[in-house]
Protein backbone atom coordinates (compact mmCIF):
# COMPACT_ATOMS: atom_id res chain seq x y z
CA UNK A 1 0.00 0.00 0.00
CA UNK A 2 2.89 2.33 0.78
CA UNK A 3 4.20 1.88 -2.75
CA UNK A 4 0.83 2.65 -4.33
CA UNK A 5 0.43 5.77 -2.16
CA UNK A 6 4.00 6.77 -3.08
CA UNK A 7 3.21 6.43 -6.79
CA UNK A 8 0.07 8.53 -6.37
CA UNK A 9 2.05 11.29 -4.62
CA UNK A 10 4.97 11.24 -7.07
CA UNK A 11 3.66 11.38 -10.64
CA UNK A 12 6.99 12.85 -11.84
CA UNK A 13 8.82 9.53 -11.21
CA UNK A 14 5.87 7.15 -11.61
CA UNK A 15 6.62 6.06 -15.19
CA UNK A 16 10.27 5.26 -14.43
CA UNK A 17 9.34 3.25 -11.34
CA UNK A 18 6.54 1.33 -13.08
CA UNK A 19 8.83 0.60 -16.04
CA UNK A 20 11.48 -0.70 -13.64
CA UNK A 21 8.91 -2.95 -11.95
CA UNK A 22 7.47 -4.28 -15.21
CA UNK A 23 10.94 -5.10 -16.56
CA UNK A 24 11.80 -7.05 -13.40
CA UNK A 25 14.28 -4.55 -11.95
CA UNK A 26 12.24 -3.78 -8.83
CA UNK A 27 10.86 -0.63 -7.27
CA UNK A 28 13.57 1.73 -8.53
CA UNK A 29 13.88 5.25 -9.82
CA UNK A 30 16.46 4.81 -12.57
CA UNK A 31 19.08 2.54 -10.96
CA UNK A 32 18.43 3.42 -7.31
CA UNK A 33 16.13 1.26 -5.17
CA UNK A 34 13.69 3.38 -3.19
CA UNK A 35 13.79 2.27 0.46
CA UNK A 36 10.53 1.87 2.37
CA UNK A 37 11.67 4.48 4.89
CA UNK A 38 12.08 7.08 2.12
CA UNK A 39 8.63 6.34 0.75
CA UNK A 40 7.09 6.61 4.20
CA UNK A 41 8.87 9.89 4.92
CA UNK A 42 7.50 11.19 1.63
CA UNK A 43 3.85 10.17 2.13
CA UNK A 44 3.30 10.11 5.92
CA UNK A 45 1.88 13.61 6.17
CA UNK A 46 -1.59 15.02 6.79
CA UNK A 47 -4.26 12.33 6.70
CA UNK A 48 -1.59 9.70 5.96
CA UNK A 49 0.21 10.06 9.31
CA UNK A 50 -0.92 6.54 10.20
CA UNK A 51 1.45 5.14 7.53
CA UNK A 52 4.52 5.77 9.68
CA UNK A 53 2.86 4.30 12.78
CA UNK A 54 1.88 1.12 10.94
CA UNK A 55 5.35 0.79 9.42
CA UNK A 56 7.18 1.17 12.74
CA UNK A 57 4.84 -1.21 14.58
CA UNK A 58 4.99 -3.84 11.83
CA UNK A 59 8.78 -3.70 11.64
CA UNK A 60 9.03 -4.81 15.25
CA UNK A 61 7.50 -8.15 14.24
CA UNK A 62 9.14 -8.52 10.84
CA UNK A 63 12.65 -8.03 12.26
CA UNK A 64 14.03 -9.86 15.26
CA UNK A 65 13.42 -7.57 18.25
CA UNK A 66 12.34 -7.78 21.86
CA UNK A 67 8.77 -7.98 20.50
CA UNK A 68 9.40 -11.71 19.99
CA UNK A 69 9.95 -12.39 23.68
CA UNK A 70 6.26 -13.16 24.36
CA UNK A 71 7.02 -15.46 27.29
CA UNK A 72 8.52 -12.64 29.34
CA UNK A 73 6.90 -9.40 28.21
CA UNK A 74 3.77 -8.54 26.26
CA UNK A 75 5.23 -6.98 23.08
CA UNK A 76 2.58 -4.30 22.94
CA UNK A 77 3.18 -3.27 26.53
CA UNK A 78 6.90 -2.93 25.74
CA UNK A 79 6.29 -0.89 22.57
CA UNK A 80 7.51 2.69 22.98
CA UNK A 81 4.91 4.16 20.60
CA UNK A 82 1.87 2.24 21.84
CA UNK A 83 -0.07 5.48 22.51
CA UNK A 84 0.04 6.19 18.80
CA UNK A 85 -1.31 2.74 17.90
CA UNK A 86 -4.04 3.04 20.53
CA UNK A 87 -5.04 6.45 19.15
CA UNK A 88 -5.34 5.20 15.56
CA UNK A 89 -7.18 1.99 16.45
CA UNK A 90 -9.67 3.85 18.65
CA UNK A 91 -10.07 6.58 16.01
CA UNK A 92 -10.57 4.36 12.96
CA UNK A 93 -11.93 1.14 14.49
CA UNK A 94 -13.38 2.15 17.86
CA UNK A 95 -16.73 0.58 18.66
CA UNK A 96 -16.21 -2.42 16.37
CA UNK A 97 -15.53 -4.70 19.29
CA UNK A 98 -17.55 -5.02 22.50
CA UNK A 99 -15.98 -3.64 25.66
CA UNK A 100 -13.95 -0.62 26.53
CA UNK A 101 -11.75 1.34 24.14
CA UNK A 102 -8.06 0.50 24.02
CA UNK A 103 -5.86 2.16 26.64
CA UNK A 104 -2.38 1.90 28.21
CA UNK A 105 -3.25 -1.42 29.81
CA UNK A 106 -4.16 -3.04 26.45
CA UNK A 107 -2.17 -6.09 25.41
CA UNK A 108 -1.12 -7.56 22.08
CA UNK A 109 -4.12 -9.91 22.38
CA UNK A 110 -6.40 -6.84 22.62
CA UNK A 111 -4.71 -5.27 19.60
CA UNK A 112 -4.85 -8.53 17.61
CA UNK A 113 -8.65 -8.60 17.97
CA UNK A 114 -8.73 -5.57 15.66
CA UNK A 115 -6.75 -7.33 12.90
CA UNK A 116 -9.76 -8.37 10.75
CA UNK A 117 -11.13 -4.80 10.81
CA UNK A 118 -7.74 -3.24 10.10
CA UNK A 119 -7.06 -5.65 7.22
CA UNK A 120 -10.52 -4.99 5.76
CA UNK A 121 -9.92 -1.22 5.91
CA UNK A 122 -6.46 -1.59 4.37
CA UNK A 123 -7.94 -3.69 1.56
CA UNK A 124 -10.64 -1.11 0.84
CA UNK A 125 -8.14 1.77 0.99
CA UNK A 126 -5.67 -0.08 -1.23
CA UNK A 127 -8.36 -0.81 -3.81
CA UNK A 128 -9.32 2.88 -3.78
CA UNK A 129 -5.70 3.95 -4.21
CA UNK A 130 -5.17 1.46 -7.05
CA UNK A 131 -8.29 2.76 -8.79
CA UNK A 132 -7.05 6.34 -8.41
CA UNK A 133 -3.67 5.32 -9.82
CA UNK A 134 -5.38 3.59 -12.78
CA UNK A 135 -7.41 6.72 -13.48
CA UNK A 136 -4.28 8.87 -13.44
CA UNK A 137 -2.17 6.49 -15.54
CA UNK A 138 -4.81 5.36 -18.08
CA UNK A 139 -5.05 8.67 -20.00
CA UNK A 140 -1.28 8.74 -20.29
CA UNK A 141 -1.19 5.26 -21.83
CA UNK A 142 -4.13 5.60 -24.28
CA UNK A 143 -1.87 6.57 -27.15
CA UNK A 144 0.60 3.72 -26.51
CA UNK A 145 -1.70 0.86 -27.58
Q: List the chain domain ranges.
A: 44-144
DSSP, res 49: T
Give per-residue pLDDT as tens, 62-78.
766 666 677 778 888 88
Closest CA to 50 of 93, 103, 108: 93
Find, among 9, 7, 5, the residue nearest to 21 by Cα: 7
pLDDT digits (tens, 9 = 90+) for 83-105: 988 998 998 898 888 888 999 99
pLDDT tier for residue 145 given thresholds of 50, 70 and 90: very low
Element (H, E) at 33: strand 32-33
Amino acid sequence: MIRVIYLLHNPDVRDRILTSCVTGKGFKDDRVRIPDRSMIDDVATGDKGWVDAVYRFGNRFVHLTDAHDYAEVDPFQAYEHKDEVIKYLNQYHGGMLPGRPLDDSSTLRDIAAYAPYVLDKITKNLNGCIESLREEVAPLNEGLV
